[in-house]
Amino acid sequence: MYEVLVAESFEAAHRLVGDFGPATRVHGHTYRVEVAVRGERLGDDGTLYDLGKLGENVKGLAAELHYRNLDEVEGLAGKNTTAEAVADFVWERLAKTLAGSGLSSLTVRVWENPNACAAREDRLPG
């Protein structure tokens, strides 16, 4: 099994609703998002999936979230913007681009800081 992974950062504000103590105050993070795809075979060009192309996709998504309040971003507004929810948001967006590419699974990992992250990992539609 092969995997390729790219990472990007963005800086954004958010707050949680519920029993989350100081995290219910508006605050922010330098988020790091790691995106990994998996598959069984390399192509004739020696890649599973072009790192540069995957990097451009992730860079675009990170740019959309940079210097934003996540609680106001379409697709996140109205939800609790936990790291899990942000991973979900990125996963759904990238899965649309990657479906049908022959890759078997997609993992999106969202770090709020170097000591805390959430991830979603699921199979990609064929």
What span, in angstroms and rounded, lies between the C-alpha atoms of 29 and 10?
8
Which residue type occupies 66? Answer: H
Q: Which span (66-74, 82-90, 96-104) binds a second copy, by CB under 8 A? A: 82-90
Q: Which tokens go with 11?
A: 């800086």
Considering the complex, what minimum distance in angstroms separates the CB of residue 36 from a second copy? 8
Question: Are 29 and 12 a contacting pair, CB within 8 Å?
Answer: yes
Considering the complex, what minimum distance in angstroms separates the CB of residue 49 from a second copy? 9
Cβ–Cβ contacts within 10 Å for residue 24, how many? Answer: 12
Considering the complex, what minimum distance in angstroms separates the CB of residue 119 from a second copy? 4
Q: Which of 12, 31, 106, 112 binds a second copy (CB under 8 A)?
A: 112
Kindly provide the b/e burial profile for residues 72-95, where b requires at least 16 CB atoms within 10 angstroms of the residue's own CB. ebeebeeeebbbebbbbbbbebbb
- Contact positions with a second copy (CB under 8 A) in 18-77: 18-21, 23, 42, 45-48, 50-52, 55
Q: 64 or 121: whose CB is closer to a second copy? A: 121
Residue 40: alpha-carbon gap to chain centroid: 22
Tell me how many residues contact a second copy (CB under 8 A).
44
Residues in touch with a second copy (CB under 8 A): 1-8, 16-21, 23, 42, 45-48, 50-52, 55, 79-85, 87-88, 109, 112, 114-122
